[in-house]
A and B are shown apart, each in its own frame.
Chain A
Amino acid sequence: MKVSVVITLKKDVLDPQGKVIHQTLDGMGFEGINEIRQGKYFEIDTKENNKIKAEEKVEEMCKKLLANLVIENYKIIGSQ
């Protein structure tokens, strides 16, 4: 089973990279952007075929390594 996870910075954490990307897109003429937050995407291919069990394992991975919960949130966005 392949589990996809997105990790993003929490709302009140400054994201200077997102800000610079935002300014650059503004400069390129893309109008109407409110905000850009940069994040990370992981695709975890596991031997576990049970969706619930696989997602539980990935959640544990997020808590222990993939995300730093002081500044980041994780979200499992799909499993197949």
Chain B
Amino acid sequence: MNSSVITFPGSNCDRDMDVALKKFGFKNKMVWHNNIELPKSDVVILPGGFSYGDYLRCGSIASKSKIMKSVINFAKGGGKVIGICNGFQILVETGLLPGVLLRNKYLEFICKNVFVKINDQDSLYFRNIEKKTLELHIAHNEGNYFCTKEQFKEINENNQIALFYSDKEGNVNEINNPNGSIKNIAGIFNKEKNILGMMPHPERMIDPALSGEDGSIFFKNLINNLK
């Protein structure tokens, strides 16, 4: 399985992602944002960080970078693309995913572990996953998912919500909503479900000594599903 992680100026989770992908069996390539061509990839990852210092709007400048033209073509052709955190912000700015990520409701940068409930367990990214809720890490200032009423109707009808913020048991309620996201949305798919954007960082939860192992569950399942 070949993966590519795109590095933008200001990305800071790209190397963590590289370590995580390799640990679970991917042959990963790091791709600089100024490249035009995307290496042959089974999955492309847009990592977390602060691309272009979050200038203008988070992810907006990166969404117009050279490599993104290839990533957009790849995604439109059915290629698998995952955006984590800033990568999610970049995906909504390209228009590949609906909605936008606003400033957190209480204006705080949030850095903590959260639980997320997997909404669609039949989807490519979460099929056969062994747990229904995962403990993952979030670290963001703009993770407050927002979309128009029309967009929400469409997302809901097409079952495009990937992850909800929840408690350990998978209960989705306002108490477990860290940032004010509509309906506790932590991650969404595009309509065809080959593109996934999510705020939590699975790559930060792959070592029991440092964090937790629910990220390992995500990556093990990912490589099995892509085979």
A14 to B151, CA, bound (A): 17
B105 to chain A, nearest CB (A): 6
| In the bound complex, CA of A17 to CA of B105 (Å) | 9
Q: Is the Cβ of B107 less than 8 Å from the Cβ of A71?
A: no
Tell me which of A24-32, A49-57, A62-70 binds B.
A62-70
Cα distance A40–B35 in the bound complex, in angstroms: 31
Q: Does A78 contact B (CB under 8 A)?
A: no
Tell me the chain A residues, 11-50 only, with Cβ under 8 Å from chain B: 13-14, 16-17, 20
Count residues of B near A (Cβ-Cβ below 8 Å): 18
Shortest distance from the beta carbon of A17 to any chain B beta carbon, whole Å:
7
C-alpha spacing A70/B95, complex, angstroms:
10
Q: A13-B146, A14-B180 are in contact. Are A68 and B93 (CB under 8 A)?
A: yes
A residues contacting the other copy or chain, number (CB 8 A):
10
What's the least CB distance linking B90 to chain A, in Å? 13
Chain A binder among B26-34, B56-64, B71-79, B192-200: B56-64
In the assembled complex, B100 has its CB within 8 A of some CB on chain A: yes
Report which of A14, A20, A68 forms a contact with B57, defined as CB distance below 8 A. A68
Report yes or no: B151 in contact with A70, Cβ–Cβ below 8 A.
yes
Residues in A whose Cβ lies below 8 Å from that of B180: 14
- The one of A16, A65, A68, A70 in contact with B103, judged by C-beta atoms closer than 8 angstroms, is A16
Known: A68-B100, A70-B99, A70-B151. A20 touches B107 (CB 8 A): yes
Do A65 and B102 form a contact, CB below 8 Å, given A16-B107, A70-B146, A70-B148? no
Known: A70-B147, A71-B146. A17 touches B103 (CB 8 A): yes
- B142 CB, min distance to chain A CBs, angstroms: 11
Q: How far is the CA of A71 from the CA of B142 in the complex (A)?
A: 14
- Which residue of the partner chain, among B56, B64, B105, B148, contacts A14 with CB atoms under 8 Å? B105
Contact A13 B107 (CB under 8 A): no
In the complex the two chains form, what is the Cα distance from A66 to B57 in whole Å?
Answer: 9
Interface flags for B112-151 (1: CB within 8 Å of A; 0: not) read 0000000000000000000000000000000010111001
Query: Which of B177-222 touch A at CB < 8 Å?
Result: 180
* Contact call B147/A16, Cβ cutoff below 8 A: no
Which residues of A have CB within 8 Å of B105?
A: 14, 16
Would B56 and A13 count as touching, CB distance under 8 A?
A: no
B100 to chain A, nearest CB (A): 5
Residue B109 at the A interface, CB < 8 A?
Answer: no
List the A side residues contacting B103 at CB < 8 Å. 16-17
Q: Which 7 A-B pairs have the closest CB atoms?
A: A70-B100, A16-B107, A71-B100, A68-B100, A68-B57, A16-B103, A70-B148
B residues neighboring A (CB under 8 Å)? 56-57, 60, 64, 93, 99-100, 102-103, 105-107, 144, 146-148, 151, 180
